[in-house]
Amino acid sequence: MTESRQRIDKWLFFARIVKSRSLAAKLAQAGRVRINGDKIDQPSRMVVPDDVLTIALDRKVLVLKVLQPGTRRRPYAEARLLYEDQSPPPAARERGLAALPPYREAGSGRPTKRERRQLDKWKSAGD
């Protein structure tokens, strides 16, 4: 019988969420990983299939459902089979092009009054 549970640091490494197992351990120790809503601080915590992980990375939050434990680090396409991504879509994608600043050519000089108004309107829309 194969083991159906696995250390969180190994699982994060095998699922290619982080680049190394030591980074996965640091992520867990920093309290940036939650298992089923409970904040963890030990990389030795075990995950089992159907656990929901909430991982706070630098620029995004991942919500992943564990489907199976990993056996070793595999290519991304195979590692993707270890989890189901339930992350909410990024806010910028939801707003579409309105989230992007007005486009200006580099080196085109100072903005015109019209361009400055567009930039001010864009900045105030983000508040």
Q: How far apart are alpha carbons 56 and 6 in whole angstroms?
A: 20
Contacts for 30 with CB less than 8 Å, ≥ 6 apart: none
118 and 59 in a common domain: no
- Checking if the pLDDT of 50 tops 50, the result is yes
User: By residue range, what is the domain housing residue 26?
Assistant: 6-88
Domain assignment present for 51: yes
Q: Kindly provide the b/e burial profile for residues 57-80, where b requires at least 16 CB atoms within 10 angstroms of the residue's own CB.
A: eeeeebebebeebbeeeeeeeebe
Domain assignment present for 1: no
Q: Give the single-character DSSP code of 99.
A: G
- Checking if the pLDDT of 75 tops 80, the result is yes
76 and 16 in a common domain: yes
When the pLDDT of each residue in the chain is averaged and rounded to a whole number, the result is: 87
Task: Place 1 in a pLDDT band, splitting at 50, 70 and 90.
Answer: very low
pTM over cut 0.95: no
Number of domains in the chain: 2
58 and 38 in a common domain: yes
121 and 76 in a common domain: no
Q: How far apart are alpha carbons 51 and 119 in whole angstroms?
A: 44
98 and 75 in a common domain: no
Q: Scanning the structure block, which residue is given the tokens 């982080």?
A: 18
